[in-house]
Structure 1
Amino acid sequence: MSRSPTRPARTGRQHGHGHRHFVGTYGLLTLTVLLFLLFCVLLPDTFPTLDNVSSILSGQSIPAILALGVTIPVASGKFDLSIGYALGLAHVMVLFLIVEKGWPWPLACLTVVAGGALVGAVNGAIVEFARIDAFIATLGTGSMMYAVTGWVTDGSRIVPGPEGLPAAFTGLYDARFLGLPAPAFYVLGLVVVLWVVLERLPFGRYLYVIGSNPRAAEIVGIPTHRYCVYAFACSGTVAGFAGVLLAAQQQIGNPSVGLDYLLPAFVGALLGSTAIRPGRANAVGTLVAVTVLAVGLAGIGQLGAQFWATPLFNGATLLLAVGLAGYSARRRLRTDAAGTAGDGAPGTGAGTGSGTGTTL
């Protein structure tokens, strides 16, 4: 008899928790749909068209790929600030090898992607074994990459000759499949790969545990240093691939172009950690975040916003993303702790709770 009065209250709490869970998981996706419908109403002649959708998919593919690359070290609790510089160096090196050295474009692309993986591994080694904070280490290595970019280009642009670049190389970006730009399918393919790696394989689970509680990860026997180096190497590989696509898109080597992609990449990765799997960086959430950013930027651009609206939008969204990501992580940990206490098994929840969220 003493338990019956508490059942409605418990049911109400469960209902409230379910509502908050839905909003936290799918709120950003819902916002994307609402934004798209809003701009369709405000811009009925230009926004809901196949050309506009193709333009959004094509124009935001490289930021999306770079954001997915950022997501990997973020899952381990680390931040790779060199990824924008790595993008700039990769796209310059591809054109340098093709235009200046006469390399076959497939060999140049593979070399650059492998070089990105090597640079990422060096970043990870500096962070893990030299014990330098990831912010400082990657900012320093990024500055060195920018110096190498300037040295390779001598501070000027790399411009192909009259014969231009191989059509197969530029087709990496210009090709279409099923009526949509090919880069959109690269993004989807990378999302699927990262989803499998992060959500279904031990590698991803280890990264999440390390990002949530490195000390606990070491206690249970996870080689934290090695897996963090792997995370940075994967991030560098993705940056190298994004650099190849950027070279195929622009077809001119610009030594300063990579810096423009750094902020959008972090906005996408951090904002994505508030969706689908709130409190932890995840590939599908990053895709949703990049989509809402792309729709928002395209809409305000077509409404006639000034050039400074884009950095203002990105900066404000980054602040919001960091705040929401931290809140989601703390709420997830509190929910896990409360659930463990409610089940009457306080000794079994710490490991589970620490392994499911990334504290930002």
Structure 2
Amino acid sequence: MTLSPSPRSVLDRLRGHHIGAYGLLVLAALLFLVFSLALPETFPTRDNISSILSNQSIPALLALGATIPIATGRFDLSIGYGLGLAHVMVMQLIVNVGWPWPLACLVVVCGGAVAGALNGVIVEFGQIDSFIATLGTGSMMYAVTGWITDGGRIVPGPNGLPAAFTGLYDSRFLGLPVPAFYVLAVTAVLWLVLERLPLGRYLYVIGSNPRAAGMLGIPTHRYSVYAFAGSGLVVGFAGVLLAAQQQTGNPSVGLDYLLPAFVGALLGSTTIRPGRANALGTLVAVAVLAVGLAGIGQLGAQFWATPLFNGATLLIAVGLAGYSARRRLRTGATATRHAPDEPSAVPAKDSHP
């Protein structure tokens, strides 16, 4: 005999689920409304929205790239260094080596995937903690960036860069910046992989319980390498876009994007699908950050407000993630405690294959 939960407990559970799943999305809308009321002549304008979409496209891509290893319980701290190396390599191949820009972009994107795979090999087969391993490889990437540029900038010649290349960032489609559509496309692909394909389910199982994943026959090392390779692929693409935006090769660019990327990825794990990294949640988190930063910037905040906002949001994101995990554990324990004692209430596992 199975006891049915009371209507009030069902209602409370549904309310808690919807708040956890969509609260951050509501917050983004409220922030936009508040800043629109405070800055009616500048904030809710088409130019400002286009500016936000354009400026936040690269942080959004990097956050989506960081989301993939986080799904497996790993962290890739090399993404900021990889972004700097990728954009410098694009400029080096186009300006100094003379390669056609499509070939240079393709090589850099594929190179990003290879670098990500190497990170995964070091973490999984070298049995090194992902924080330490990717911090070490990131430092090496930064050294390669400095070696390529000799500490200076790569500046195009008098003729500049090909218009088609800079158009990767400057172009517009349907009245909106093209980079916004890149972000939507990557989000859609990542959502499909993580939520609808077996690969995504394997990554989530590895992230929740690697030992159980191994007992189920999932090759945990291989799929973790795949996750790092996917992250590197997205970082390589973001590097191409950054080169098209900056139009110079700056060896110091890249590190500034590391913290916002992890803020977006970790904060995204608290929404849409609370408790696990997911593409839609990351996109919503980036929207909250973008609207918040744009709003405080137009209100005249000082330069230090941006790192303060990112750091505080990161702490909140980690705190919310921990609270969500503890809440799920308490809910599970409560459900187990109130479960009926009859053997029929819990299906027994078959002892035979």
TM-score (norm 2): 0.94
Give the Å deviation of 1:13: 1.4
Match of 1:84 in 2: 80
Matched, 1:206 2:198: no
Matched, 1:279 2:275: yes
Give distance in 2, aligned partners of 1:26 and 1:165: 43
Matched, 1:65 2:61: yes
Matched, 1:31 2:32: no
Equivalent residue letter for 1:27: G
Deviations 1:116-149 (A, max 9, x none): 0000000000000000000000000000000000
User: What secondary structure is seen at the aligned counterpart in 1 of 2:254?
Assistant: helix
CA 1:131–1:167 in 2, change beyond 3 Å: closer, same or farther? same
Match of 1:53 in 2: 49
Give the Å deviation of 1:334: 4.2
User: What secondary structure is seen at the aligned counterpart in 2 of 1:257?
Assistant: coil
Give distance in 1, aligned partners of 2:331 and 2:45: 43
Deviations 1:23-57 (A, max 9, x none): 00000000000000000000000000000000000
Deviations 1:226-252 (A, max 9, x none): 000000000000000000000000001
Match of 2:71 in 1: 75
Match of 1:352 in 2: none
Matched, 1:130 2:131: no
Give distance in 2, aligned partners of 1:336 and 1:165: 58
Give the Å deviation of 1:12: 1.3
Q: CA RMSD in A?
A: 1.6
User: What secondary structure is seen at the aligned counterpart in 1 of 2:234?
Assistant: helix
Match of 2:16 in 1: 20
Matched, 1:106 2:102: yes
What stretches of structure 2 of length at least 5 have no aligned partner? none
Asked whether the equivalents of residues 340 and 346 of structure 1 are also in contact (C-alpha less than 8 Å), the reply is: no
Q: How many percent of aligned residue pairs carry the same amino acid? A: 76
Give distance in 1, aligned partners of 2:330 and 2:215: 22
Give distance in 1, aligned partners of 2:203 and 2:328: 17
Give distance in 1, aligned partners of 2:196 and 2:333: 24
Equivalent residue letter for 1:32: A
Give the Å deviation of 1:223: 0.3
Match of 2:227 in 1: 231
Give the Å deviation of 1:330: 3.2
Give distance in 2, aligned partners of 1:176 and 1:142: 33
Size of the aligned set, in residue pairs, is 343
Match of 1:306 in 2: 302
Equivalent residue letter for 1:192: A
Give the Å deviation of 1:11: 1.6
Deviations 1:295-347 (A, max 9, x none): 00000000000000000000010011111112223333444555566473286
Aligned partner of 2:141 among 145, 157, 160: 145
CA 1:216–1:347 in 2, change beyond 3 Å: closer, same or farther? farther
Deviations 1:9-28 (A, max 9, x none): 82211111111111000000
CA 1:44–1:336 in 2, change beyond 3 Å: closer, same or farther? same
User: What secondary structure is seen at the aligned counterpart in 1 of 2:152?
Assistant: coil
Asked whether the equivalents of residues 271 and 321 of structure 1 are also in contact (C-alpha less than 8 Å), the reply is: yes
Aligned partner of 1:253 among 229, 249, 254: 249
Give the Å deviation of 1:151: 0.1
CA 1:282–1:337 in 2, change beyond 3 Å: closer, same or farther? farther
Matched, 1:96 2:92: yes
Give distance in 2, aligned partners of 1:330 and 1:283: 23
Deviations 1:178-236 (A, max 9, x none): 00000000000011000000000000000000000000000011000000000000000
Give distance in 2, aligned partners of 1:296 and 1:35: 7
TM-score (norm 1): 0.93
What stretches of structure 1 of length at least 5 have no aligned partner? 349-360
